[in-house]
Amino acid sequence: MFFLLIFSFSISAKDTPNDAGGSITVSTYNIPHYTERIELYRKVKGDTLYKEAGLISLYKGEFDDTLAVAGESYLYRARAITKDTVYIAMTEEFVSSSPQWFNKSRTAVLLFIVIFGSFVFVFIQLAKKNPEGLFIRRLPAIDAIDEAVGRSTEMGKPVLFIPGIEYITDAGTLASITILQRVGKKVAEYGTRIIHANFDPVVMTAAQETLKTAYAEAGRPDAFNKDDVFYLTSEQFGFAAGVDGIMERERPGAIFLQGYFYAESLILAETGYSIGAIQIAGTNATTQLPFFVAACDYVLMGEEMFAASAYISREPRLLGSIKGSDLTKSILLGLIGIGVTFGTVASLLKQAGNPAYMEIFNKVLDFLAMGAR
C-alpha cells in the first residue's frame, strides 16, 4: 500500500516562471504505463465544475496553461487514460499566475548589454574629447562615393539612391540615412540631381530632411528639389518594378543601394549593371550580400555599413559604438579561444576520471544557452 502511494500518478501546478503572467505550468509524476492520453481540467475558485484545459504532452509530461487569467486561482485535475483504466490526480491547493519583474533566463543578455554598453559609453566620452584620435580604417566603398557622384556629373546624369525596403527602425536604414547625408552633400556641391525612391513614407520624410540639411551644409539650399524624394509603393515587387523603370528611363550615372533588401536586390542590381551605372551597395541583409557582390562595383558588407556611417560623420556616438563593438569582438574572440581550450582539457580530464571541470564547462554553456532561448 505504501509502495502504491509513493509511486501513484500525481500532478503539481505552479506559476510559470519568467513570464508576464497568464500561464500556469502543470507537471505530472509517475505516469502509468501504456497511458494513451492525459486530459487536464481546471476549476476557478468559487466554481463547482471542472472545465477542460487541454491535453498534457506524454513526451514532456508538462502542460503550460496559457489560458489562465493572471490573478485568478485555479485547481487542476488530470485523467491519465490507459486501455482499461482511468487514473485521476488532483492539485490540493489553489494556484494563480502573476507577472515577474525580472526574467532570470535573460541574465546572460543583461550581463552582455551592461558590458557592451559600458564600452560604448567610455568610447563615446573619448570620441567627444578627441574624435580624430579614434582610428577607423578606410573603406573603399566610401572613398568611391566622390568618384561615383563625379562620374554622374561629368556624364550629365542623375544619381539614384535607394534606401532599401525596411522601415526607419531598421539599423541598416538608419545607416543608409547617414550615407545619404554624405552623398547629398557631394551631389549639392557638384550640382547634380539626386533621385531618392522610397518604400516607406516615414523613411521618405527622414530622407527629405537629411537631403535638405545636406544641401544647406553645402551652401546650396535652393538647389534641393523635394519632389525628387518620393514614395513609390510598399509592395516589394511593385517597388522593384518601379525602381527598374526609373533606372531605364532616367539612366542614372551612379546608383546607391543602401539599406535592408530582400529578394528584389538582384533585380535592382542587375538592372543597374545593365544600364552601365557605377553601383555602390551596402546592406546588413546577409542573404542579399552575394547578389550585390556579384553585380555592384563596391559593397559595404553588414557591419561595414555602420562603420561607414561613423567614418563619414565622425559623430562621437557612432565612433564610440564602432569602437565598443570592436572591443566586444576582441573579448568574444578571447572567450571562444578560452572556451575551446577549457572544453578540450575538461573533456580529457573527464575521460581520465575527473568530471568536475566538464560540469563547470557545461554550466557555462547552459548559462549562454539560457540567454539564447
Partner 1 sequence: MNISTSPWVWIAALLTLMIYSFLYKENPFYRLAEHIFMGLSIGYAVVIIWYNYVLVRVYKPLFFPPHQWSLIFPILLGTMIFGIFSKKYTWLIKYPFAFYIAGYAGISIPVTLQAFVLKQVEASFLTPEKFSSIPGSINSILIFVGLITTLIFFYFSTKREHGFGTAAKVGIVFIMVAFGASFGYTVMARISLLIGRMQFLIQDWLGIM
Binding site for partner 1 (CB under 8 A): 106, 108-109, 112-113, 134-137, 168-169, 174, 202, 205-206, 208-209, 232-235, 237-239, 241-242, 244-245, 248-249, 266, 287, 289-291, 293-294, 301-304, 307, 322-323, 326-327, 329-330, 332-333, 335-336, 339-340, 343-344, 347-348, 361, 365, 368-369, 371-373
- Name the one residue in this structure whose C-alpha cell is 555602420: 306
Distance between CA atoms of residues 196 and 232, nearest Å: 10
Tell me whether residue 91 or residue 198 sits nearer to partner 1 (CB atom): 198
Residue 305's identity, in one-letter code, is M
Tell me whether residue 70 or residue 134 sits nearer to partner 1 (CB atom): 134
Tell me whether residue 75 or residue 229 sits nearer to partner 1 (CB atom): 229
Tell me whether residue 73 or residue 313 sits nearer to partner 1 (CB atom): 313
Tell me whether residue 38 or residue 164 sits nearer to partner 1 (CB atom): 164
Smallest separation, CB 136 to partner 1 (Å): 5
Smallest separation, CB 263 to partner 1 (Å): 8
Q: Where are the beta strands (DSSP E) in the chain?
A: 10-15, 24-29, 37-44, 51-56, 62-65, 73-81, 86-90, 95-96, 159-164, 194-198, 229-231, 254-260, 278-283, 298-301
Q: What is the DSSP string of 122-157?
A: HHHHHHHH-GGGS-----HHHHHHHHHHHHHHHHT-
Closest CA to 161 of 257, 281, 47: 257
Smallest separation, CB 252 to partner 1 (Å): 14
Tell me whether residue 79 or residue 106 sits nearer to partner 1 (CB atom): 106
Smallest separation, CB 80 to partner 1 (Å): 36
Q: What are phi and psi of 284, to 5 degrees?
A: -100, 10
Smallest separation, CB 242 to partner 1 (Å): 5
CB of 53 closer than 8 Å to CB of 65: yes
Report which secondary-structure segment, H or E, holds 224: none
Smallest separation, CB 248 to partner 1 (Å): 3
